[in-house]
Structure 1
Amino acid sequence: MKKERPVNLDLSTIKFPAAAKASILHRISGVVMLFSLAFLIWAFAVSLSGPEGFAQIESIMTSFIAKFIGWGILTALGFHLIIGLRHLVMDMGYWEELDSGRISANISIALSVILSVLVGVWLW
């Protein structure tokens, strides 16, 4: 029996549908939020240690790198929230068809990009 399998699969030629991109990015944003908890818990603990600790965290948070990290964390949170709501609606039995799933994924990604820009404007 002859099996017709690809010999060399070029992954750069594969185009994922919008729903797959949204699902993969939802998982990545969850991992980003998990790792960002270490930084946030540290900053919270130091800021509550006293006036010196609060001043130290305040001076760190005014730098460009800290604002960029904060923007990344808030962007991941917003994306995870929006796509998570999309997944909850799909779990209730809506947007399960191919067209509605694609449209809802594209709208969710667009809303996440808009939210990301608004968070950037708010931080800077």
Structure 2
Amino acid sequence: MSESSKAGKPQFRNIGLTDLVRYRLPLAGILSILHRISGAIIFLLLPFILFLLDKSLLSEISFEHFRGIAAHWFVKLIILLLVWAYLHHFCAGIRHLLMDMHMGVDKQAARKSAVIVFAVSLPLAGLIALKLFGVF
């Protein structure tokens, strides 16, 4: 036994690659990782989106051309991914701003705010998916 475990202090160790499968990240941790992923998606694709917007606004013909491209189901999935990334990043960003002001930083409040972010961003993305795929 090591000296730290004899003294009643917790013993910390690094997580190995094989431990990652069994490791359970709390909901707030999952939210934080998704916040980073959604921010990266928005950052990387924003120049391409602005380029497409610029080209679609050149004329009515170019607009109709891009409208036809956007009608494909795979392009709609990409659009839905971008919409989810924006909604999730926006909602999680508000949560992080509140936490920067020392609101909701304890464990229970952080868990509750993580649930709220998912409860707001996922149904909004679902509604947009229904509209995007023509359900209503």
TM-score of the alignment, normalized to the shorter chain, above 0.5 = yes
Name which one, 1 or 2, has greater alpha-carbon Rg: 2
Give the drift of 1:30. 0.3
Q: Which residue of 2 aligns with 1:45?
A: 54
**Matching of residue 117 in structure 1 with residue 130 in structure 2:** no
Find the aligned partners of 1:109 and 1:55 in 2 and give their Cα distance: 35
Listed one character per residue, the Cα deviations across residues 100-124 of structure 1 (whole Å, up to 9, x for unaligned) are 1111112212222111211101212
**Matching of residue 34 in structure 1 with residue 43 in structure 2:** yes
Is the 1:75–1:119 contact (alpha carbons within 8 Å) kept by the matching residues of 2? no
Larger relative contact order (C-alpha < 8 A, sep ≥ 6)? 1
Q: Which runs of 5+ in 1 are unaligned?
A: none
Is the 1:48–1:54 contact (alpha carbons within 8 Å) kept by the matching residues of 2? yes
Give the drift of 1:83. 0.5
Find the aligned partners of 2:100 and 2:45 in 1 and give their Cα distance: 28
Aligned residues between the structures: 124
**Matching of residue 92 in structure 1 with residue 101 in structure 2:** yes
User: TM-score, normalised on structure 2?
Assistant: 0.81
Letter in 1 for 2:57: L
Report the more deviating stretch, 79-88 or 34-43: 34-43
Find the aligned partners of 2:15 and 2:47 in 1 and give their Cα distance: 44
Find the aligned partners of 2:128 and 2:35 in 1 and give their Cα distance: 18
Give the drift of 1:51. 2.5
Find the aligned partners of 2:60 and 2:121 in 1 and give their Cα distance: 36
Q: Which residue of 2 aligns with 1:19?
A: 28
Find the aligned partners of 1:96 and 1:7 in 2 and give their Cα distance: 25
Q: 1:75 aligns with which of 57, 64, 84?
A: 84
Give the drift of 1:2. 5.5
Find the aligned partners of 1:89 and 1:7 in 2 and give their Cα distance: 31
Bigger helix share: 1
